A = this chain, B = another copy of it.
């Protein structure tokens, strides 16, 4: 069902004001990592809260251990689902300043885009849901479902205050589905719903051999070399077919369905363009899977860092005392990072030769997430996006993790709709961050439709 004609007209008539509001929040340098901007971050929270108050919603600035969280909600609608909208009003630092074509906190229109720090991540995307609520309130006097907004100010610095807030406000935040717009479309003009994220298990392996670096001539070959041992251990993690060799690693992996593989294959993905983008002349990975399948839906193992011995220029004949590696597995549903840790530790310990002391540090783990493709929420979001963007979304997954999605699942027992209005080349975290103004308005319309579509679910 389409949204009321009055609402459509309102969206059309308010385009300029919406853009002006977007510029207003983009002018606030709410850089959460920089203590000199503490006041600006609070101004960001106040600006967001005032938006909700202006449209007649209950809104509150909630103090946390760090920057404040804005919580707002509309009236309950009996018999209809409750949606929890998450977003963030803090931004990354703008450095290096010299690379910006226009100043990062002076939003500037160029080629149909708005350029500013936070344009897409996440002020612009977050604002689409605020504006869609405002449109409903202004034209219908109420929302078709109850909306709860949690807009935080520490997303770019690890959401430290968010977890405590969730913990102490579990009842107040109760909802049926979460909605986040902080990701990307599949391609320009091709909206997407990200229905799966990978989990992660991150480790540091530290090996210690002799008390100090030794002369590799005098001692080499007779004293166990921790760097040689490290290469053996790391090499054993993945076989020549790209299969992770930690015992039982694949036991609980949900296999890729035929339907899903067909969908991935149907996406307009160019492997040669992908290779060109990252600057390589070939790719490799787990045998039997395509590049998109590897990136989105298969568990992986990557070494993130290596350190040992002499790293300067030239040659030094040293048998290093220590060697260490950081490495991580990306997990898919239903792999459990804890299981990986247990098996990994056993495997490495069994490989540890005489003369080497081994320490495995377990940094952090998070399970993967996937929203079933046949979920009614997905269908509702898909219809809403089609109305907003004039084109049905494709369904994609992502190799990264979004910790808040796991937290919603664990603490609130709800799934999340990841509805990205951004584009891959929006320069998130980089100079000249931008957001397409057309997509800003399409996002507002899709969001307005989403509340209606969710109401239809009953």
A residues near B (Cβ < 8 Å) are: 198, 200, 202, 204, 209-212, 214-225, 227-228, 230-232, 234-236, 238, 242, 275, 278-286, 291-292, 294-295, 298-311, 314-320, 323, 325-326, 328, 330, 353-356, 363-364, 398-401
Contact B284 A220 (CB under 8 A): no
Cα(A325)–Cα(B304), bound, Å: 15
Contact A316 B306 (CB under 8 A): no
Known: A222-B292, A306-B308. 14 other contacts (CB 8 A): A217-B398, A219-B278, A221-B302, A222-B291, A222-B294, A223-B285, A227-B305, A228-B303, A235-B235, A284-B354, A304-B317, A305-B318, A306-B309, A307-B307
With a 10 A CB-CB cut-off, give which of A220, A286, A298 has the most chain B CB atoms: A220
Contact B306 A307 (CB under 8 A): yes
Q: List 21 A-B contacts (CB under 8 A).
A: A200-B317, A202-B315, A210-B280, A211-B280, A216-B328, A216-B330, A222-B283, A227-B302, A227-B305, A231-B306, A231-B325, A282-B354, A283-B355, A284-B355, A303-B320, A303-B323, A304-B316, A304-B317, A304-B318, A306-B308, A307-B307
A227-B303, A315-B304, A315-B363 known; A330 vs B219 contact (CB < 8 Å): no
Which of B301, B303, B319 touches A304 (beta carbons < 8 Å)? B319
Contact A198 B217 (CB under 8 A): yes
Chain B hits for A219, CB < 8 A: 278, 295, 399
Cα(A236)–Cα(B240), bound, Å: 12
Chain B hits for A283, CB < 8 A: 222-224, 354-355
Contact A398 B218 (CB under 8 A): yes
Which of B280, B298, B355, B363 touches A224 (beta carbons < 8 Å)? B280
This protein's copies in its complex: 2
Contact B317 A328 (CB under 8 A): yes
A303-B320, A314-B363 known; A238 vs B227 contact (CB < 8 Å): no
Shortest CB-to-CB span from A363 to chain B, Å, is 4
- Going nearest first, the 4 A-B pairs with the smallest beta carbon separation are A282-B354, A221-B300, A211-B279, A217-B400
Shortest CB-to-CB span from A316 to chain B, Å, is 6
Contact B210 A295 (CB under 8 A): no
Which of B198, B230, B301, B330 touches A228 (beta carbons < 8 Å)? B301
Contact B228 A302 (CB under 8 A): yes
Contact B301 A326 (CB under 8 A): no
Chain B, Cβ-Cβ closest to A210: B278
A202-B315, A326-B310, A326-B315 known; A218 vs B303 contact (CB < 8 Å): no
Which of B220, B278, B291, B301 touches A330 (beta carbons < 8 Å)? B220
Cα(A139)–Cα(B305), bound, Å: 68
Contact A305 B295 (CB under 8 A): no
A238-B228, A284-B355 known; A305 vs B320 contact (CB < 8 Å): yes
A219-B295, A220-B300 known; A278 vs B309 contact (CB < 8 Å): no
Cα(A397)–Cα(B320), bound, Å: 23
